[in-house]
């Protein structure tokens, strides 16, 4: 798929979704593995199955439901994506970012991108939430030789990071901050790969998110990235990793995750739309 057709396809998808949800969302939230339950917090919810959206693929990974749920959190109109697409499912980069182009077509101003990630930083706990303040592209799609370098800080403006920090503070949630490394998967990393990622400055590792963040920033959208650290990355503990643990940790932290996301939405809404500190 070329970029021109991504735009065209996003337009057609947006026409369909607009018709189905009837309201322009202000914020779109991509819910990562095991985090889909956040949609249950929406009032006046309207669900649109990916299967009905023109040009939309369907997710194949357990924990990715495959539907958009639009609704309100307090008074703020939001759109949640329950399930995303990964490179390892066979999608090209344009398909991975089709949802982001759709959100832009719908007129959202902010995209919150969440994921389940392996915790590379061994001073942190499994179940911690991390604000993404930088990223490393360890996909080696654009270069096989170079050691990846941490992204341009302009993608993560201080004002946006501060908004998330304040939301965490007011909710009494410890929010870690760090660098997310994108690995293509589908297998978990080897301990040697994790040591390399740590040496480059990575704090968390996952198989998604980077293309979405870069596309959203490129389209001029405000971007907030949150990782749920569902397991210690390979080699930190003397035990094998598995996807069930990822989903199980997502379920365990779902209340804290919802509280943080709701608090961020409250700050994005601002006092004029009745947002303010949420009570969830
Ligand atoms: N590695 C890559 N992706 C992940 C991990 C991990 O350890 N945990 C959740 N997603």
pLDDT band for position 33 (cuts 50, 70, 90): confident
- Do the Cβ atoms of 125 and 95 come closer than 8 Å? no
To the query of whether residue 64 is one of the catalytic residues in this protein, the response is: yes
pLDDT band for position 193 (cuts 50, 70, 90): very high
User: Which pTM does this prediction carry?
Assistant: 0.93
Of 207, 215, 217, 233, the active-site residue reads 207
DSSP string covering 196-230: HHHHHT-SEEESSSHHHHHHHHHTT-EEEEEEEEE
Q: Which of 5-14, 39-48, 53-62, 146-155 has the highest mean pLDDT?
A: 39-48
CA 119 to ligand 1 center in whole angstroms: 8
For 106-119, the pLDDT digits (tens) are 999 999 999 999 99
To the query of whether residue 86 is one of the catalytic residues in this protein, the response is: yes
CATH class of 3-269: alpha beta
For 120-153, the pLDDT digits (tens) are 999 999 999 999 999 999 999 887 766 898 888 9
Q: Where are the domains of the chain?
A: 3-269
For 56-77, the pLDDT digits (tens) are 988 777 766 899 999 999 999 9
What is the average pLDDT across 161-173? 97
- Using the atom order of ligand 1, give the atom closest to the CA of residue 119: 7
Of all protein residues, whose CA lies closest to atom 7 belonging to ligand 1? 118
Q: Hey, which bits of the chain come out as E strands?
A: 27-31, 43-49, 67-73, 76-82, 110-119, 129-137, 175-182, 204-206, 222-232
Residues whose beta carbon lies within 6 Å of some atom of ligand 1: 116-118, 183, 188-189, 205-207, 230-231, 233, 241, 246
Of 67, 89, 94, 105, the active-site residue reads 89
């Amino acid at each position: 798929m070329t970029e021109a057709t991504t735009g065209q396809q996003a337009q057609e998808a947006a026409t369909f979704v607009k018709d189905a949800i009837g309201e322009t969302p202000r914020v779109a939230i991509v819910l990562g593995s095991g985090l889909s339950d956040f949609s249950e917090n929406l009032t006046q919810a309207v669900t649109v199955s990916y299967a009905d959206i023109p040009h939309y693929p369907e997710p194949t990974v357990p924990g990715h439901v495959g539907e958009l749920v639009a609704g309100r959190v307090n008074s703020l109109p939001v759109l949640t994506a329950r399930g995303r697409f990964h490179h390892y499912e066979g999608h090209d980069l344009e398909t991975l970012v089709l949802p982001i182009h759709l959100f832009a077509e719908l007129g959202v101003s902010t995209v919150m991108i969440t994921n389940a990630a392996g915790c590379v930083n061994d001073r942190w706990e499994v179940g911690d939430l991390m604000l993404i303040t930088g990223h490393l592209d360890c996909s080696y799609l654009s270069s096989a030789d170079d050691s990846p370098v941490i992204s341009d800080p302009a993608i993560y403006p201080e004002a946006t990071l501060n908004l998330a920090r304040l939301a965490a503070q007011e909710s009494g949630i410890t929010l870690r901050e760090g660098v997310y490394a994108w690995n293509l998967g589908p297998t978990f990393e080897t301990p040697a790969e994790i040591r390399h990622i740590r040496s480059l400055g990575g704090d968390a590792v996952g198989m998604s998110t980077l293309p979405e963040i870069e596309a959203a920033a490129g389209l001029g959208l405000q971007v907030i990235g949150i990782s749920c650290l569902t397991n210690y990355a390979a080699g930190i503990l003397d035990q094998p990793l598995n996807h069930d643990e990822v989903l199980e940790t997502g379920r365990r932290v779902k209340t804290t995750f919802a509280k943080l996301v709701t608090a961020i939405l409250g700050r994005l809404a601002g006092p004029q739309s009745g947002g303010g500190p949420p009570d969830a």
